[in-house]
């Protein structure tokens, strides 16, 4: 059972805007499956870019909750494959 999209949006609002997070870490921090987090991110229309994850430190595609429009490069769905 998932927590719901509205709760996910509230969760994103509590994250530090100074760092981005990879989908794996967002899934861990939120406490839900990676597939569910990808679905929620797709609904938000948030973007990602290559950088170091603020949680695990790995360099990969990360999501930045309040990324300024001039830094947005890709939509989540076009960068993160649905199946891993």
Q: Is 13 left (phi over 0), alpha (psi -120 to 50) or beta?
A: alpha
Domain boundaries of the chain, sorted by first residue: 5-79
pTM over the 0.85 mark: no
Q: What is the Rg, in whole angstroms, of the alpha carbon atoms belonging to the chain?
A: 12
Q: How far apart are CA 29 and CA 22, in angstroms?
A: 11
Q: How confident is the model over 2-15, as a mean pLDDT?
A: 79
32-75 tens-digit pLDDT = 999 999 888 888 777 788 899 999 999 998 987 754 444 444 44
- DSSP H helices, the chain, are 5-14, 23-30, 34-44, 76-79
Per CATH, domain 5-79 is 1.10.10: yes
């Amino acid at each position: 059972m998932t927590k719901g999209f509205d709760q996910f949006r509230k969760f994103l609002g509590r994250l530090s805007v100074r760092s981005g997070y990879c989908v794996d870490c967002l899934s861990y921090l939120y406490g839900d499956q990676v597939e569910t987090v990808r679905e929620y991110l797709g609904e938000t229309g948030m973007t990602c870019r290559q950088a170091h994850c603020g949680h695990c430190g790995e360099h990969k595609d990360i999501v930045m909750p309040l990324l300024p429009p001039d830094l947005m490069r890709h939509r989540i769905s076009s960068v993160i494959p649905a199946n891993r």
